[in-house]
Amino acid sequence: MIIQPRTRGFICLTAHPDGAHQAVKNQIEYVKSKGEIKNGPKKVLVIGASTGFGLSSRIAAAFGSDASTIGVFFEKPASEGKMGTAGWYNSAAFEKEAHAAGLYAKSINGDAFSDEVKKETIELIKKDLGQVDLVVYSLASPRRTHPKTGVAYASVLKPIGQPFTNKTVDFHTGVVSDITINPVENDEDIANTIAVMGGEDWKFWIEDLKAAGVLAEGVKTVAYSYIGPELTFPIYRNGTIGQAKNDLEATVPVLNDLLKDLNGKSYVSVNKALVTQSSSAIPVVPLYISLLYKVMKAKGTHEGTIEQMQRLFADRLYTENGEVALDEAGRIRVDDWEMADDVQAEVAKLWDETTTENLSEISDIEGYRKEFFNLFGFELDGIDYEKDANENVQVPSIE
Ligand code: NAD
Ligand code: NA
């Protein structure tokens, strides 16, 4: 079938298998161009492996240090006459490329929050890898069913305390407008968001993996966080999602205790703001990202998810002397180039000036839009979108 983008708000309902394959190949080429990640991971479990930072983590590990990878994700499979989701096609492409390179790669499609998927993953590790030496936790989800209580939690993206008014952009139309987001009405919204995006599920994973004996001596685990500029604090870091990130970050010492007898370590890496399926859903943030891209591209410091994850592995997690540089709060920072004073000063200045009329001139809204479509396999160079695509592309390891 011929597959074209079809959007509803910040969601793209369609995905292109050949474009997704091309995007994965581009990421692989980037990692190869940077050379071997010395002392890199060898047996890796990536939870949230099909898109965004998780997919790039998987690619960086596999093609940067020849790692065997198991990827866990929640995607809609493709079938005859029915399109799969972008993450499905990404994972199909990743496995195909990994297998062609002689690398072990298998995937599990299901709810990572469930005990069942944890069990299935542990069985697969036992059968094929014995143990893993890196666990990447990169889930982003609007909801979670708690595995012990069955309670279904939904996260919200809201400020806490006061309403928040600021600029936002509709990146399809380029219209800049003011948006007011009302604060949470009760503490339950905060607790629910923490239950979905906080650290409890990461802890459950590490507890189960450890109890099953599938974590190697010296194992590392990393989860991803975000801080960003003051102008997004009310909706991000000081909002409901920020409380969940605080909880995630507070899980690090808990996991360090748990991993002590294995000489294992847990980390949170604060990553850069980037266009992903998750970040496009947050108000205000897409306008910030399109200004940030403009400034960072001009300075030559712009990175995408693959550049970020390659740098995380090569320069932070797996260094020559084994030391991992942390900030005063104990976090890895690969948002360092985003948060540089000169970058932030320029973004803040542009932020005040931005209008619908000057948007395409002073921001990289076009780059934002293109990257958004790239996430779904569209607008990739070298793909003929007028040609029939084979929608029925499968992830080789999944029956
Ligand atoms: P994403 O939406 O691209 O990826 C989410 C992944 O989680 C996908 O692989 C999806 O299949 C998987 N997933 C979701 N629900 C699942 C479930 N129930 N079971 C199994 N898999 C499930 O998101 P992303 O932007 O790459 O986010 C990953 C992490 O990085 C998040 O913690 C996010 O907060 C963080 N982060 C994002 C940004 C950003 O700007 N995008 C910046 C810093 C940190
Ligand atoms: Na991810």
386 CA to centre of ligand 1 in angstroms: 31
Q: Is 53 in the pocket of ligand 1 (CB under 6 A)?
A: yes
pLDDT tens digit at each of 399 positions of the chain: 999 999 998 899 999 999 999 999 999 999 999 999 999 999 999 999 999 999 999 999 999 999 999 999 999 999 999 999 999 999 999 999 999 999 999 999 999 999 999 999 999 999 999 999 999 999 999 999 999 999 999 999 999 999 999 999 999 999 999 999 999 999 999 999 999 999 999 999 999 999 999 999 999 999 999 999 999 999 999 999 999 999 999 999 999 999 999 999 999 999 999 998 888 888 899 999 999 999 999 999 999 999 999 999 999 999 999 999 999 999 999 999 999 999 999 999 999 999 999 999 999 999 999 999 999 999 999 999 999 999 999 999 998
| Residues with C-beta atoms within 5 A of ion ligand 2 | 48, 52-54, 138
Minimum-distance ligand to the CA of 274? Answer: 1
pLDDT at 174: 94
Instruction: Tell me, in angstroms, the distance from the centre of ligand 2 to residue 355's CA.
Output: 32
State the DSSP H helix or E strand holding residue 60, giving kind and residue range, or none if neither.
helix 52-65
What does the alpha-carbon distance between residue 254 and residue 103 come to, in Å, rounded to a whole number?
33
Mutate which of 11, 12, 24, 73 for ligand 1? The one with the most ligand atoms within 8 Å of its CB, which is 73
User: Residue 111 CA: which ligand 1 atom is closest?
Assistant: 19
Q: Which pLDDT score, from 0 to 100, does residue 246 have?
A: 98
Q: What is the pLDDT of residue 281?
A: 85
> Quick one: pLDDT at residue 60?
99
ipTM for the assembly? 0.98
pLDDT at 279: 87
Structure tokens at 25: 């190949």
Give the number of the atom of ligand 1 that is nearest the alpha carbon of residue 50.
9
CA-nearest residue for atom 27, ligand 1, is 140
What is the total residue count of the chain?
399
**CA–CA gap between residue 151 and residue 145 (Å, rounded):** 6
Residue nearest atom 18 in ligand 1 by C-alpha distance: 111
Atom of ligand 1 nearest to the CA of 53: 26
**Which residue is associated with the tokens 């948007």?**
359
Residue 118 backbone dihedrals phi, psi, to 5 degrees: -60, -45
Q: Which residues contact 368 (CB under 8 A, 6 or more apart)?
A: 171, 275, 286, 289, 290, 293
Ligand 1 pocket residue status of 155, Cβ below 6 Å: no
Burial category of 6 from C-beta neighbours within 10 Å (exposed 0-12, middle 13-18, buried 19 and up)? exposed
Atom of ligand 1 nearest to the CA of 112: 19
Query: CA torsion, points 50, 286, 270, 335, in degrees to nearest 10?
Result: 120
Q: Looking at residue 277, what is its pLDDT? A: 84
Per residue in 218-264, pLDDT (tens digit) is 999 999 999 999 999 999 999 999 999 999 999 999 999 999 999 99
